[in-house]
Amino acid sequence: MSDNQKVKILVCDDDLTARILMKETLASDSIEVIEAENGQRAIEQFEKHSPALLLLDVSMPKMNGFEVCEHIRGHEKGKHIPVIMVTGSDDLESIHKSYAVGATDFIAKPIKWPILGERVKYILRASQAFADLVTQQHELHQLAFYDSLTGLPNRQYLMQDLQRFLAMAERNNYQAAMLFIDLDRFKRINDTMGHSYGDKLLRKVAHRLQANLRDSDTFARVGSEQSSQEPQLSSFGGDEFTIFLSRLNDPNEAMLVAERVIRSFSTPFQLEQFEVVVTPSIGISMFPNDGDNAETLLKNADTAMYFAKQSGRCCYKFYQDSMNAKAAARLQLEQDLRRALKSDEIVPFYQPQICAQSGRIVGVEALVRWLPAKGGIIPPDEFIPIAEETGLINELGRLVLERGCYQAKQWFDEGNPVRMAINVSAHQFRQLDFTQVVADVLQQCGLAPELLELELTESVIMSDAEENIARLIELKALGVSLAVDDFGTGYSSLSYLKRFPIDILKIDRSFMCDVNSAPDDLAIVEAILALAESLKLGVIAEGIEYGSQIAILKNTNQLLLQGYLFSRPVAAEYISPLLNQDFNHLMPAL
C-alpha cells in the first residue's frame, strides 16, 4: 500500500519516548503515524496532513491538549475527526475537561500499549462508519432536495422553507413574489435534437438564471436585508423553474426581475455546434394578495404562466382572479378532449375541392370537428391548441388520417376516385416515424397513395428546410401528393421552394376574401399564380365565396377551388350526393 493510501494518525506528546512507543504500537502497513512535539506543531501537522485520528497529551508546552482539541473542533476539517486525550490515571478533572472541549475518548497513563492499539482500531472503524453514514445522509439529502440534472434546489426544498418565509413576511407586513418560468416549445428540442441535447440546454438555462441572480441589482436589493431570505431559484423538473422573491416593496420589483430574465434569453444557447434559441413564459403571483400560503401562491403563478403562453409566449403575466375560472374551464376541456378521442366524438368533416376546368369534385379536405355527445359542436380553434400543448395532437392527427383514408377508399369502391387532403401538424411532421405511419395507414386502408394529399403549412416546412426536404422526399416516395397550405403567409425562400418535392400551392383564404377590394392581396395572388406556373405546380384557391373571386384566377393551370360558394365542411354522408354534381353554373367563364 502506498503512503498516500495509508490512514494517517497524528500523535502529539512532548515526551519523545512516549511518541516512539506510540509509533511502534500503531504504525503498520495500513497506518502511518505522524508526530508532533508540542501543541503548535500538532495544529501545523493537522492542517498539512488531515489525519484520520489524533492522540493528544493533555500537558504540553506552547499549547496544551485541551487548546489543540478546541482549535481542531473549530476547524472545518476537524468537526468529526476522533480525538483521544492522554491523561493521568487519577486526573478526573482533565477527563471531564477533555469531553467538554470535544474529545472523543481518553486513555489514562501509564498506557497499556496492546490495549491502545486495539482501541485506536475500534475508534477508526467507528469513525469510518460515521463518515459513511454522513456521506449517505448527504447523498439522500441531495436526492431528496436537489434536482439531479441542474443541481438546483427542487420543489421539496422550496416548500420546506417557503411557508416560514411567508409567515415572516406576514409578521413584518411586506410583500413577496413567486415567478413560475416555463420554457416555450422546449419539447421540440427533445423531439428534433434528442434528449441529451435537451438535458444540456436545461443545465445551461439553470446556469444563466443563476448568473442573473448574482448579477441583477434587483435581486441584490431584494435579498440584501437577510441572507437567509435571498431570492431562491428552484427547478421543478423538466423545463419549469421558479424564483421566489421576498421583502418586496411593490410588484414592480417582481416585474423588473421577469423582464431581466426574458432579456437574458435573447442570447442563443450554444449546444456543441448548434445555436439554440429558447424563450421563457413567466407567471407572477404576489403575496399576500394572490395567496397566503405556499401551495396557493405556486398554483396561481403557474396559472398566470399559462396565460403568458396564451398571450404569445416570451412574456410575463401577473395573476388575476379571473384566470382560475378560465384555467378550470381549460382543464375540463382537456379532460373532455381525452375522453372524446376514445368515444368517437372527434370526426372529420369534408369540404369539396372543385376542378375549375370540369366543374366537378376531384378532391376533399378533411377538417376535424368535435361533436360532443351532449350536443352542439366545439370549433377547432378551441381544442386544437390544447391538443398541441398536451401532445394529444399526434393521436388526433392519426385518427383523422385513418378515417379520411378509409372514407376515400369507400368512395373509390363506389366509383368515385376522390383525392383526400389531410392536414399535417408540426408535431406530427416532426415525428421520426411519420413516413412509416402514413405508409402503414395506406396499407391498412387499402388506399392507393395517389388518392392521398398531405397538406403542410409554409411555416412548418420552412422551420428546418434542409431536414424537411429529406422528410418530404421520403413521403413523396410513397406516391402521395404534397401541398403547401396557407401559402403566402410565411417567408419561403424561392431557392428552397424549388427544392421541395411539392405538387400544389394553396392560396390562403385571407388573400381571396377581399381580392376585389384589396390591391395588395390581388398582387400577392397574381405573384403566387406566376410562381406556381413557373414551377409547374397545381393551385388550390381557398375561401371562395363569390363567383367574382374566381375571375382573377383565369388562365391558371391545374386550378382547384374550395370555399362556401360550393359547400361548407360537412359530414361524409352529405358529400356523397355531390360527387356526381356539376358546379359550372356557380363559376364565371374562365
DSSP letters for 343-408: TT-EEEEEEEEEETTT-SEEEEEEEEEE--TTSS-B-HHHHHHHHHHHTTHHHHHHHHHHHHHHHH
* Same domain for 369 and 513: yes
Domain limits for position 264: 155-320
Q: How many residues does the chain have?
A: 590
Q: What is the pLDDT of residues 28-72, one digit of tens each?
A: 888 899 999 999 999 999 999 989 999 999 888 888 999 999 999
Confidence label for 89 from pLDDT (cuts 50, 70 and 90)? low
- What is the rounded CA–CA span in Å between residue 339 and residue 33? 74
Confidence label for 493 from pLDDT (cuts 50, 70 and 90)? low
* Same domain for 453 and 553: yes
- What is the rounded CA–CA span in Å between residue 58 and residue 62? 12
* CATH (domain of 559): 3.20.20.450
- What is the rounded CA–CA span in Å between residue 290 and residue 304? 11
Q: What is the pLDDT of residues 237-281, one digit of tens each?
A: 889 999 999 888 888 889 999 999 999 999 999 988 888 889 999
* Same domain for 375 and 502: yes
CA distances (Å), origin 447, targets 368, 435, 460, 479: 20, 15, 26, 11
Confidence label for 423 from pLDDT (cuts 50, 70 and 90)? very high
pLDDT score recorded for residue 516? 60
Give SS3 for 82: coil
* Same domain for 542 and 471: yes
Q: Residue 239 burial (CB < 10 Å; 0-12/13-18/19+)?
A: buried
Lowest mean pLDDT among 39-48, 366-375, 463-472: 463-472
Residue 590 pLDDT greater than 80, yes or no = no
How many domains is the chain built from? 3
In a domain, 325, yes or no: no
Q: What is the secondary structure of 216-265 as a DSSP string? A: -HHHHHHTSS-GGGS-EEEE-STTEEEEEEEEESSHHHHHHHHHHHHHHT
Among 575, 520, 584, smallest CA distance to 550 is for 584
Q: Are strands 559-561 and 538-541 parallel, antiparallel or unpaired?
A: parallel
CA distances (Å), origin 319, targets 179, 222, 246, 519: 10, 21, 17, 44
* Same domain for 165 and 130: no
Q: What is the pLDDT of residues 93-114, one digit of tens each?
A: 887 888 888 888 888 888 888 8
Give SS3 for 56: strand
Q: Which residue has the cell 382547384?
A: 560
* Same domain for 202 and 181: yes
* Same domain for 496 and 385: yes
Q: Which triple of cell numbers denotes residue 166?
A: 411567508
pLDDT score recorded for residue 217? 47
Q: What percent of the chain has pLDDT over 90?
A: 42
Confidence label for 475 from pLDDT (cuts 50, 70 and 90)? very high
* Same domain for 91 and 66: yes
- What is the rounded CA–CA span in Å between residue 253 and residue 243? 13
- What is the rounded CA–CA span in Å between residue 321 and residue 432? 42
